[in-house]
Amino acid sequence: MSLFFQLVVSGLTTGAIYAALALALVLIFRATNVVNFGQGEMATFSAYCTWQLMEWGAPLWVALLVSLAGSFAVGVITFRAVIRPLMSAPVEAIVVVTLGIFVLFQAAGMWLWGAEQRSFPSLFPDGGFNVGDVRILNSTVGTLVILVMIAVLMGLIFSFTRLGLSMRAAAFDHARSVLVGVNVERMLMLGWGFAAVIGAFAAILIAPRLFLNPTMMTPILFYGLAAATLGGWDSPLGAIAGGLIVGVAESLGASYLSFIGADMRIAVPIALTLLILLVKPVGLFGSYKVTKL
């Protein structure tokens, strides 16, 4: 039984990272109806910026804060430069553009920092503690705490501030929001900025384990997409739950199902995606939209 709990704990740790990336994807999708396939690569770029600042001698926390602020700016600029001009374009065009964002940031990372793996420091002290037979690492606790903090902060902003209300309104309906005086474009820009910051957290939290490299977040994107589909693309809460479920399912599946094993782990999120699309296509926390013709 302790193996089971150990696997759950380990699944929650990776799940928290999938959840963060899924949250970033969902925030952007809700507001702009765009799936940003470049979200993971933008996040890797942010992690590289943190690493570079530390190489130049900045302390970890300073590097972290500066690169998070930079990520916000990159999110805003990406929206202004490539998404806004295409807001009324067909969805295929926008998909191609976000794939372009993917390629752009991955290539920029390769060009600036090369393809070799680099070690990245953990934000949390080494070591951990035991609960019964289950070993819990400090980094596990830290990762989950950061995820909870992001979720609570987002919840507070969206529920209790005028800015959050305007952002929700802009995501709900562009034309109606314009008519009450919401600056919809500014709200979408802020949404892209926030999403980039949350994505950056995901990359910075996973980098110590995977080693920093330009394609580090590519597989994580698959898990993030699965998590968002599982939780429901219009539900931030669903993204978080979806991320954690995918993480735990992956961890358990890889150990208990011999035909999956370590090599086939990525089959787990794909299977989950397929299952939810068959059973409840809007996702666990998604809501059905009624379209009047």
Chain positions contacting another protein, by CB under 8 A: 162, 165-166, 168-169, 172-173, 175-183
Residue pair 106/41 in contact (Cβ under 8 Å)? The answer is yes
Residue pair 88/78 in contact (Cβ under 8 Å)? The answer is no
Handedness of CA 28, 34, 40, 42 (dihedral sign): negative
CA distance 58 to 237: 35
Q: Which is nearer to another protein, 53 or 187 (CB)?
A: 187
CA distance 124 to 121: 9
Q: Which of 226, 265, 260 minimizes the C-alpha distance to 246?
A: 226
Shortest gap between Cβ of 180 and another protein (angstroms)?
5
Residue pair 14/268 in contact (Cβ under 8 Å)? The answer is no
Q: Which is nearer to another protein, 234 or 250 (CB)?
A: 234
Q: Which is nearer to another protein, 2 or 287 (CB)?
A: 287
Pairing of strands 128-131, 134-137: antiparallel
Shortest gap between Cβ of 228 and another protein (angstroms)?
19
Shortest gap between Cβ of 193 and another protein (angstroms)?
20
Shortest gap between Cβ of 227 and another protein (angstroms)?
23
Q: Which is nearer to another protein, 172 or 256 (CB)?
A: 172
Shortest gap between Cβ of 30 and another protein (angstroms)?
11
DSSP string, 66-80: HHHHHHHHHHHHHII
And the tokens for 84?
A: 């806004």
CA distance 49 to 148: 24
Shortest gap between Cβ of 90 and another protein (angstroms)?
15
Segment (H or E) for 10:
helix 2-32
Shortest gap between Cβ of 287 and another protein (angstroms)?
9
Side-chain-side CA neighbours of 256 within 13 Å: the count stands at 14
Q: Which is nearer to another protein, 80 or 118 (CB)?
A: 80
Q: Which is nearer to another protein, 86 or 104 (CB)?
A: 86
**C-alpha torsion angle, residues 32, 214, 61, 25 (rounded to 10):** 20
Q: Which is nearer to another protein, 147 or 182 (CB)?
A: 182
Shortest gap between Cβ of 293 and another protein (angstroms)?
14
Q: Which is nearer to another protein, 85 or 114 (CB)?
A: 85
First-residue to last-residue Cα distance in the chain: 54
Q: What is the DSSP letter of 212?
A: B
Q: Which of 261, 222, 268 minimizes the C-alpha distance to 246?
A: 268
